[in-house]
Structure 1
């Protein structure tokens, strides 16, 4: 079904490019509270970019064109499985504590400590999980037709600890904070605006705070489908006891090249799981854009950027048109 892959290529490109707009100003105005939004856009955008490239390079083929790229992209695929829910946990956890404490009273040391914790959760955990996944990596990687490079993780008891359960627990923790934030909104919805006026960042408004809570529910819904599906699939397919490093890595250099007709029907709902893994990143990235990139503040930034582009493109012609307009207004009163 090449049409399915072509549709994914279009949406994955949109998922990579569209959140980059709000990412630029969230990054340039980075503070102690919005590290989570930057990390969320980073992980979803990076994952969408990887799947976009793979969908083009391996469209209708299983040729091992670029082994080094596959080594890199499969590591990224594993990291983003943790990175997306972990960065959402950072967002919901940080906003939860901010609305209950006076942000204006935070000292520099406290802000740095909060930022360090956020980076440890949203960046450190995915990188650690990416490194630990090598232990349960059966061979170098797989190449799936239309999908491209895919991690080759063996189904052992140790895989639950190192890979499978991490996004489940992180997603649950993020969901709990999201629910508590929603509860706070319902109880204090009339005082949100006055509280936001005391926050140190001009980016954080009551509207954005509500949007972040909405994004938390969307991200939980999408990522939980993937994590629960992986857990159920691993349980139903029958995992084996960890046989040891030498057994798992006996044929580590092997690369399995699998046509769509095989991987789409191999095992229970295997094709659905593969497609879900790459569509979750796209869905989260597009959700990030619609939540963070469609605010009133975002509209003002788009207009300012458009005026800047017109000014650059206009150059001398724009100045001449302006002067001619002034002469016409003078001549015709």
Structure 2
């Protein structure tokens, strides 16, 4: 099982990274940000599964300090990126032509995709009751002091963008149905590299990630905070044992608790798999793979021609 965890993390990272050439050509900042965060998220999962396979030894505390903050940032950024995409798709659906993004749109994208997640990573320290937790086979896990400030700092910044993203997506679906013929003509006659197929796949991805986040955030919040909401007395009491590192073997969890943890762990690689299914096996993606292979083969052949044959006594002029 632990080896499967590590493989899932690394394979998921590779799958989402395989879609990068296509999205680089489209140059959508929000989509590129999703790729970056999902890649980091799963890479951390894979590395953790290798280091803490069958143990909870404190062997890389600085790594866990960094990794848990990145996990917090990724959990916040993905709903924000989806909200940006949902706004873009909704604006295109309601326009008579594909409007170029203005500086306000660019600023909002940067804030939701990177600025706000980094801020939440810093604010996490307010409700970080101790340094981090280590779970056997899974590795680093962010520590949270479950209280009403944690709901404000960690839950709402993830839940609200996901809800608003679903709202925009619903409006987009309704308008697309009403203007489906005119919308197809707009995409075909525009200079944008966005095609109807790509647009619909982006919309499906936004809806999937929106529902995924709303369901997982709601369920995890209920599981974590129901009957476990702790009183917020003061800063000193919350951070009294901040240097503590929790170490939890698999045998210490009840079957229900371990199932809960495993479901939320596997949900992240599954997200990458869905992302790859939408953007990594289409006609455009296959064209990119073929082009990359041809370029690599051409460079290899050029290098072979330039390299002298060391087994010969004479070299070509």
- Name 2:125's counterpart in structure 1: 134
Assess if the C-alpha contact under 8 Å between 2:9 and 2:45 holds in 1: yes
TM-score when scaled to structure 1? 0.85
* Cα distance, 1:271–1:221 mapped onto 2, change above 3 Å: farther
Aligned residues: 306
**Alignment correspondent of 2:175:** 184
Q: Does 1:224 align with 2:221?
A: no
* Structure 1 residues 94 and 105: alpha-carbon distance in aligned structure 2, compared to 1, 3 A threshold: closer
> What pairs with 1:97-176 in structure 2 (closer than 5 Å)?
97-101=91-95, 106=100, 111-176=102-167
Deviations 1:277-317 (A, max 9, x none): 32222122221111122222222111111111222333487
User: How far apart are 1:148 and its partner, in Å?
Assistant: 0.3
Measure the CA separation in 1 of the matches of 2:60 and 2:265: 20
Q: Secondary structure at the match of 2:281?
A: coil
Residue in structure 2 matched with residue 331 of structure 1 by the alignment? none
1:54 CA drift (Å): 0.4
Structure 1 counterpart of 2:254, from 265, 268, 284? 265
Structure 2's unaligned 5+ residue stretches are: 307-317
Give the match for residue 324 of structure 1. none
Distance 1:241 1:200, change over 3 A: farther
- Cα pair distance change 1:246/1:313, threshold 3 Å: same
State the distance in 1 between where 2:182 and 2:299 align: 43
User: Against the structure 1 CA distance between its residues 194 and 28, is the aligned structure 2 distance closer, same or farther, given a 3 Å change threshold?
Assistant: closer
1:247-279 deviations in whole A, cap 9, x for unaligned? 0101111111111111x328xx43233223322
Contact 1:61 1:146 in 2 (8 A): yes
Distance 2:121 2:247 in 1: 23
Cα–Cα, structure 1 residues 293 and 48, in superposed 2: closer, same or farther, change >3 Å? same
Whether 1:80 aligns to 2:69 is no
Residues 12 and 42 of structure 2 are in contact (CA less than 8 Å); yes or no, is this contact kept in structure 1? yes
1:10 aligns with 2:7: yes
Q: Does residue 27 of the first structure (1) align with residue 60 of the second (2)?
A: no
Aligned to 1:306: 293
CA distance in 2, matches of 1:105, 1:79: 30
Quote the offset at 1:21 in angstroms. Answer: 2.3
| Matches of 2:186 and 2:305, distance apart in 1 | 44
Which residue number corresponds to residue 250 of structure 1?
A: 240
| Post-superposition offset of 1:189 | 2.4
Work out whether 1:289 is the aligned partner of 2:276.
Answer: yes
The answer as to whether partners of 1:60 and 1:145 remain within 8 angstroms in 2 is: yes
CA gap 1:189/1:139 in 2 versus in 1, 3 angstroms: same
Secondary structure of the residue that 2:19 maps to in structure 1? helix
Residue segments in structure 1 that go unaligned for 5+ positions in a row: 320-333
From 193, 199, 202, the equivalent of 1:212 is 202
Deviations 1:110-156 (A, max 9, x none): 52321111111121221111111100001111111001011110111
State the distance in 2 between where 1:46 and 1:239 align: 30
Q: Is 1:42 the counterpart of 2:36 in the alignment? A: yes
TM-score, normalised to structure 2's length? 0.89
Q: Give 1:307-326 correspondences, 5 Å limit.
A: 307-315=294-302
- The Cα shift of 1:178 comes to 1.6
CA contact (8 A) 1:86 1:122 kept: yes
Cα RMSD (Å): 2.1
